[in-house]
Amino acid sequence: MVATKAVGSRFILRVSIFLLSLLYVTVSKLPFLARIPAPTLGSVCPKGDPTLSVSNVFSGPSVVLQCSPSISKVWGWVHPLCTVRATLSKAGGGSVSFPVVELKPEGLFVLSIAPHPCSQDEYVLNIASESRGANVSLGTIRFGLVYACIGQSNMVGLNTWTGMESDSGVKMSLTMESESVRHDSLKALPIFGLRVGMQDAWAKDSPLLELASPPLLPWTALPNAPAAADFSAVCWWMGRGIAAGLQGETPVGLIESAWAGSWIQAWSSTRALEKCQAPPFGVSWAPGHPSSLYNAMVRPFAPFAGVAMATAGVSFYQGESNALTQQAEYYACALRELIEDWLQEFSTEKGLFFGVVELAPFASAGQWGDGFPSVRVAQGISVRSYRSSSSSNKSSVASGGENSVVLVPTGDVRDPGGDIHPRLKKKIGDRLGQAALASYLDMPLPQGPSFLRFSWEEGTDRGGGGGFLHLWANIPLAVKEDEGFCEGVEGAACCGIDILRAGTTWEAYNARFEIGTEPNSLKLEVKPGGRVIAVRGGYCMWPQASIFSKNTFAWPAHPFVLSSENS
């Protein structure tokens, strides 16, 4: 009898456990209860949750989040058994909102903050765990435009570097007076920055969820004086251009994430690398190891699918290392895929700006072969390839929700000493700012002329082999009359336009040229010597800037190589 009762009790207990389990499975499928963990021994949120933290990409006293129409996301970590709540309050009282909280596996939480208009209003974000005494808050938050500045040494370069003082007005004798700027004449603007340190990324074979170490400069207001800004000079001037163009009413947040001497392979994801035939590559340390800098210095800003810091765009100033190792053909593919990959990774409701800075003139006597000019041409090929193949082309008339990709020319940005690091950072930053601002305001993008085709016209003296060369660009042209050909440049491989005749080598076109019968064409009178079968421009270490766009921006033409008529 006792045994029968024991068996019955065990049966009832088993049935009860089964019914409770079935009830839990059914109820847990309800949306509002989906995150309740299964009842297990010790399944309680610990007191004073020590794991509650926010990603270090948001560290600092003055954080800028992307403004409307973007949904800003903030993420961090919490004990897997704890829930999170958050409040966003306007400083000094006023509106209070409650960001949507999403809990993901392994203790990740993601806050989605509804779009806020661009303004200098200040907010406080408080995040708390259900555990008593566990809460964190971000520094003062502003909603504005966020841009990332990525690349190698020319993007790392500070206003305070030796030889770069010209842009702060400290040592005007180093460069042209027109580039110098006295900081006390600059209007104070709401510019904020985060500077990522060069992480020990050579040990990172997989993407990091946050920066390996705290930022060198956490989010903070950047000084108004360029020489005092411990920040990328190009990025700083770009930010000033954007902020000034918006009358100082919109905060601009800048993220500097750059490594001197880096290769494009290091900045590319494994997805992008798989799409290009990589050349033999023996660099295994951080700046060159495939995907190492992407994993350590880019991916922490987009650690999970659908979780990324909303930005208005990216500026990319890189290529010198690949140029010095003769990787132009590969670079054309790699840059194209990097652009595509990053635009997808950081896509927003409005679309992104992506500015590629052309390699600056470098007065080497040619010991690097044609590495620099060939990579400059490859940069142009990459940008045009993206534009032609993507529905996100805004190169002529911009419209909301599309990506803007632009190549920023540097043919007239020449260091007086011919150094690989030009001292004239302001002009490059200004152009990035012009293009980024045009993208944000949905206006036509500024651009330098790109030559697309040429044709040969026999001269009247057909027996002499002379004639006229006609070149066509994508936009109307202007010619600086006093710079029609290279002159006065000592010790540098300077060039303007070169021509190639059948059975010969390239020869410099040392004669004046003029605007042709159409505003986007050039006409060159060629001396006798045979028919011209190819033409190139700016194809050397130290290109001559003499052809510009005929508009208010007056950007110089991009280097080009045309190997057949009507190409």
Q: Is pLDDT at 226 greater than 70 in this prediction?
A: no
Domain ranges of the chain: 2-33, 53-142, 144-440, 451-562
Give the pLDDT confidence of 384-409 residue by residue, as tens digits: 989 887 654 443 333 345 889 999 99
Q: Which CATH architecture has domain 144-440?
A: 3-Layer(aba) Sandwich (3.40)
Average pLDDT over residues 110-124: 95
The mean pLDDT of the chain is 81
pTM for this model (two decimals): 0.85
| CA 561, chain centre distance (Å) | 26
DSSP secondary structure of 69-127? TSPEEEEEE--TT--EEEEEEETTS--EE--EEEEEGGGEEEEEEPP--SEEEEEEEEE
Q: Is pLDDT at 20 greater than 90 in this prediction?
A: no
The domain made up of 451-562 has a fold known as Immunoglobulin-like (2.60.40)
Between 96-110, 235-249, 269-283, 307-321, the lowest mean confidence (pLDDT) is in: 269-283
Give the pLDDT confidence of 532-556 residue by residue, as tens digits: 999 999 998 888 788 999 988 999 9
Q: pLDDT: is 165 or 270 the higher one?
A: 270
Q: pLDDT: is 109 or 415 the higher one?
A: 109
The per-residue pLDDT for 129 is: 87
| CA 421, chain centre distance (Å) | 19
Q: Which of 281, 296, 275, 397 is nearest to 344 (CA)?
A: 275
Exposed (0-12), middle (13-18) or buried (19+): which is 295, by Cβ within 10 Å?
Answer: buried
Average pLDDT over residues 432-445: 95
Top mean-pLDDT range of 168-177, 278-287, 420-429: 420-429
Burial 36-61 (b: 16+ CB within 10 A, else e): eeeeeeeeebeeebeebebbbbbbbe
The per-residue pLDDT for 256 is: 95
Q: Is the peptide bond before 303 cis (omega within 30 degrees of 0)?
A: no
User: Are domains 53-142 and 451-562 of this chain identical in fold?
Assistant: yes
Confidence class of residue 284 from pLDDT cuts 50, 70 and 90? low
Q: What phi, psi does 6 have (nearest 5°)?
A: -65, -45
* One-letter identity of residue 380: G
Between 55-59, 162-166, 233-237, 383-387, the lowest mean confidence (pLDDT) is in: 162-166
d(CA 85, CA 174): 56
CATH 1.10.10.10 at 53-142, yes or no:
no
End-to-end CA distance of the chain: 100
